[in-house]
Chain A
Amino acid sequence: MSATYALEMESITKVFPGVRALDDVTLRVKPGTVHALMGENGAGKSTLMKCLFGIYKEDGGTIKLNGEVCHFKDSHDALKRGVSMIHQELSNVPERSVAQNLYLGREPLKSFGIIDHKKMNEDTANLLKRLEIDIKPERRIGSLSISMQQTCEIAKAVSYNSKVVVMDEPTSSLTDNEVAHLFKIIRQLREQNVAIVYISHKMEEIFAIADEVSVMRDGKMIGTYLTEELTNDKLISLMVGRDANLRFPAVSSAIGDVLLKVENLCSPNPRSFQDVSFELRRGEILGIGGLVGAQRTELMEAIFGVRTTSAGKISLKGEEISSMSPRKAIEHGMGMITEDRRGSGIFPLMNISSNTSIASLREYLSKLGLLKHKELKQASVRYNEALRTKTPTMETLIQNLSGGNQQKVIISRWLMTLPDILIMDEPTRGIDVGAKFEIYQIMSQLAQQGKAIIMVSSEMPELIGMSHRVMVLCSGRCTGILDKSECSQENIMRLATKFM
């Protein structure tokens, strides 16, 4: 007989070096319900799901499917056992047809191993009809809209007879109409007794579709609630209401004149940031808050000239800069510590010294145009010592350092260019607690020296603890700039979810 719960994850614990990503987390999902999983960025939702699908091996706890203990090797194994995942990013083969994608890896065969296209297309057509999805099985899947492609992934999950479907932010790239259609299909699945785990930041959606809501915070499960018991405000306070136990250094520097002025900056991509304006002053730390997908990184990259803009002005120290590029930004005293340290920060096979000096070579040339290696190295040593980078030697490859020390090398790189403005995109991501505090101290000292810092952060305590002001983005638009006195987790969260 069927169990009370379709999916039970009991006391799941997962420890990464230096951080307890999941701490005794229990999630129980009933069949025939939509169960929302909510929490701030980094609360542990994705980690929990990765444990379910065997991408991570949990350090403790058990996973039960229909009351039976199970462990999946990978997502394909899970799919065969009736647990499927609809990802934020699509994972289909765009050049193949809808039917071919649905039956990828398990194509119906005729004799001699020839694929039975007719049967495949017919089965697909029947399935799509049952789900009231109006798509021809022969259509090339890449030619469909994103929402239709997503719908096909759901159809694929159904075709595997999935009993549990996990949806990770399925609406992040959908329009309102498309969301309505998705919800219709979700309700159909619910009627067919499928359990749906719905991960989303969007309050409105949760109240529209979810039966139950589980809230995670800091790797712990706060609780599971019936949607009727919850209000918008209650949900927000559950998500953010932690005691701020991290101490931050004082940031009481004197605020000076305007260094950076951004006016009505727009991205050429209509889904990205639009019409953003703000000012940054000497000695100030401006925090940038928002949820994943708020286009914070995109905005920072545009200000630094890595991305193009379609309208708006960027002025540095009163001088308007047209067609910004990283080179120009650096010449005008800007530096940028990117969010993706591996992807766009470190040069993994170069040593500490070269990683530090790479953006400042221009200032260390002899009359013949040759590099002054000795002075470059001395300067690298000086900056890294000032930040207390821990490394065996300056010749050590940066890839052999810990995340925190890599970050210090990259901060050293930018300090060596003698910047006035530092953009720091998630400066403490993937860094252990001790190094985190050191980075906060460095930031505070820099502000006291009269430098201006923009800090993008997904961590509320960090945003509130370090910033003089916090600008909040939602769906690419600035929904407000909060002064220190107005900076509370609730206010930030309210602005971050304004258009959701």
Chain B
Amino acid sequence: METKKLLSDGKRIASQYTTWVTFVGLLLLLSILTKGNALKWNSIRNLLIAESVRSFAALGVGMIIITKGIDLSIGYVVCLTASVAASFAQNPDYSSAIYAGQSFPLFVPIVAAVAAGGLFGLFNGYLIAYGKLPPFIATLGSMSIAKGLQLIYTKAAVVGSLNQNFKNISQGSVGPVPNLIIYVIIAAFIVWVFLRHTRQGTHFYAIGGNSQAARVSGINVERDLMMVYFYAGLLYGIAGTLLASRLGLANSLTANGMELDAIAAVTVGGVSQSGGVGTVSGMMIGVFTMGLINYGMSFLGVDSYYQQLVKGFIIIVAVYFDMKKYARRN
């Protein structure tokens, strides 16, 4: 009996580190295959920059999955917030600008994009928490709504010619460290403090683990559920701002498919689809594992079509092991 418990605890600890083991293993594999060429500072820096925006989406959907939810609207909500941000950052002399002839202070695009993301989050959260819609369906609907709004707002045109101050948000750096990496570190830290050290963060795990027990324990399940989608929405708003700033434009293809990348990343990072399990470090490792796979395959000259294929299998394998691990309790 005792050894059984020890074994199961041991297994749990081992599985906590599988994400790390996978990540380090991939790094080693890649450095062997490329004789160390893939792991120069410049390449790693590029990898970190490329994955930074996705990190925000992953942190948001990671929290949602901890409460046993899901969010399919990420890609188009980020696309919408990127377009909103870009529209307030266009050069005033650009003739096809949405607000041609007007210039806004730098905080306007940021606040507008974060507000748009937050509103979408509240909308999703309200439908799921109070309307009792399944998260899959609610966010499937809002995904299409976000896409429609983006097309209407931009008239399906590219929102380009962004001013340099706005572009500097993402493109600048502090010494050798790119701004984007600093933002990611700050965001991850805040989400970590929230999940680990606040009452509501703890409640998210409880709701995902057993919502009925959470209710009996006095947790306001509906309000907390709505808030998790709201917080995720704010993160998508930031992601949109940073993405527009990094690319110097936004269009209807911006952030396409980001929901799948983010969900795949946090799943690989050990956030369980069964709810109630997941850590910020896991989410971040998941993002960079997926990034490493992409980057490694590109570096090795694997055709991008095959990359898509490999990514699909990785997601399936990750969820398969996740389900095996947690399905036993039923």
The docked-state distance in angstroms from the alpha carbon of A347 to that of B197 is 18
Q: Which of A302-334 contact B (CB under 8 A)?
A: 304, 306, 326-327, 329-331
Q: Shortest distance in angstroms between B214's beta carbon and chain A's nearest beta carbon?
A: 8
Would A336 and B198 be within 8 Å (CB), given that A350-B205, A392-B5 are in contact?
Answer: no
Q: Is A129 an interface residue (CB 8 A)?
A: no
Q: Is B105 an interface residue (CB 8 A)?
A: no
Would A306 and B8 be within 8 Å (CB), given that A327-B220, A371-B197 are in contact?
Answer: no
8 Å CB contact of A347 from B5, B6, B210: B210
The docked-state distance in angstroms from the alpha carbon of A358 to that of B214 is 8
Residue of A nearest to B211 (CB): A344
Chain A residues with CB under 8 A of B203: 361
What is the size, in residues, of chain B's interface with A at 8 Å between Cβ atoms?
Answer: 30
CB of B209 within 8 A of CB of A350, answer yes
CB of B199 within 8 A of CB of A361, answer yes
C-beta contact mask, B76-112 vs A, less than 8 Å → 1, else 0?
0000000000000000000000000000000000000
CB of A359 within 8 A of CB of B198, answer no
The docked-state distance in angstroms from the alpha carbon of A399 to that of B12 is 13
CB of B217 within 8 A of CB of A326, answer yes
CB of B9 within 8 A of CB of A344, answer no
Chain A residues with CB under 8 A of B197: 370-371, 373
Q: Is B277 an interface residue (CB 8 A)?
A: yes
Residue of B nearest to A370 (CB): B197
CB of A306 within 8 A of CB of B202, answer no
Residue of B nearest to A376 (CB): B202
8 Å CB contact of A371 from B199, B213, B218: B199
Q: Is B40 an interface residue (CB 8 A)?
A: no
C-beta contact mask, A438-479 vs B, less than 8 Å → 1, else 0?
000000000000000000000000000000000000000000
CB of B209 within 8 A of CB of A400, answer no
8 Å CB contact of A349 from B2, B5, B199, B276: B276
C-beta contact mask, B1-31 vs A, less than 8 Å → 1, else 0?
0100110110010000000000000000000
Q: Shortest distance in angstroms between B208's beta carbon and chain A's nearest beta carbon?
A: 9
Q: Is A362 an interface residue (CB 8 A)?
A: yes
Q: Is A480 an interface residue (CB 8 A)?
A: no
CB of A359 within 8 A of CB of B217, answer yes
Q: Is B215 an interface residue (CB 8 A)?
A: yes
Q: Is A348 an interface residue (CB 8 A)?
A: yes
Q: Which of B108-162 contact A (CB under 8 A)?
A: none
CB of B8 within 8 A of CB of A350, answer no
Would A371 and B198 be within 8 Å (CB), given that A326-B217, A326-B218, A345-B213 are in contact?
Answer: yes
Q: Is A135 an interface residue (CB 8 A)?
A: no
Q: Which of B196-234 contact A (CB under 8 A)?
A: 197-199, 202-203, 205-206, 209-210, 212-220
Would A400 and B5 be within 8 Å (CB), given that A347-B276, A361-B199, A370-B197 are in contact?
Answer: yes
CB of B215 within 8 A of CB of A370, answer no
Q: Is A105 an interface residue (CB 8 A)?
A: no
Q: Shortest distance in angstroms between B215's beta carbon and chain A's nearest beta carbon?
A: 6
Q: How large is the interface on A (under 10, 10 to 19, 20 to 34, 35 or more residues)?
A: 20 to 34
8 Å CB contact of A344 from B8, B213, B220, B326: B213
Residue of A nearest to B213 (CB): A344
CB of A344 within 8 A of CB of B206, answer no
Chain B residues with CB under 8 A of A338: 213, 216
Q: Is B329 an interface residue (CB 8 A)?
A: yes
CB of A326 within 8 A of CB of B215, answer yes
Q: Shortest distance in angstroms between B207's beta carbon and chain A's nearest beta carbon?
A: 10
Q: Is A346 an interface residue (CB 8 A)?
A: yes
Most buried by A among B8, B9, B213, B326: B213
CB of B199 within 8 A of CB of A365, answer yes
C-beta contact mask, A242-273 vs B, less than 8 Å → 1, else 0?
00000000000000000000000000000000
Q: Is the interface of B mostly helix, strand, loop or mixed?
A: helix
Q: Shortest distance in angstroms between B227's beta carbon and chain A's nearest beta carbon?
A: 14
Chain A residues with CB under 8 A of B6: 392
The docked-state distance in angstroms from the alpha carbon of A348 to that of B12 is 13
Chain A residues with CB under 8 A of B276: 347, 349-350
Residue of A nearest to B1 (CB): A402
Chain A residues with CB under 8 A of B198: 369-371
Q: Is B193 an interface residue (CB 8 A)?
A: yes
Chain A residues with CB under 8 A of B212: 343-344
8 Å CB contact of B12 from A331, A370, A397: A397
CB of B193 within 8 A of CB of A358, answer no
Chain A residues with CB under 8 A of B193: 370
Q: Shortest distance in angstroms between A290's beta carbon and chain B's nearest beta carbon?
A: 21
The docked-state distance in angstroms from the alpha carbon of A339 to that of B32 is 57
CB of A349 within 8 A of CB of B326, answer yes
8 Å CB contact of B216 from A326, A348, A371: A326
CB of B5 within 8 A of CB of A330, answer no
CB of A399 within 8 A of CB of B218, answer no
The docked-state distance in angstroms from the alpha carbon of A330 to that of B8 is 34
CB of B202 within 8 A of CB of A361, answer yes
Q: Shortest distance in angstroms between B179's beta carbon and chain A's nearest beta carbon?
A: 27
CB of B217 within 8 A of CB of A413, answer yes
- Extra contacts besides A354-B202, A392-B2, A397-B12 (14): CB < 8 Å: A306-B216, A336-B216, A343-B210, A343-B212, A343-B213, A344-B215, A347-B210, A354-B205, A359-B217, A361-B199, A392-B5, A399-B329, A400-B8, A413-B217
Interface residue ranges, A against B (CB under 8 Å): 304, 306, 326-327, 329-331, 336, 338, 343-350, 354, 358-359, 361-362, 365, 369-371, 373, 392, 395-397, 399-400, 413
Q: List 28 A-B contacts (CB under 8 A).
A: A326-B215, A326-B216, A326-B218, A330-B217, A330-B218, A338-B213, A344-B213, A345-B216, A346-B210, A347-B214, A349-B209, A349-B277, A349-B326, A349-B329, A350-B276, A354-B205, A361-B199, A361-B203, A365-B199, A369-B198, A370-B197, A371-B197, A371-B202, A392-B5, A392-B9, A397-B8, A400-B5, A400-B8
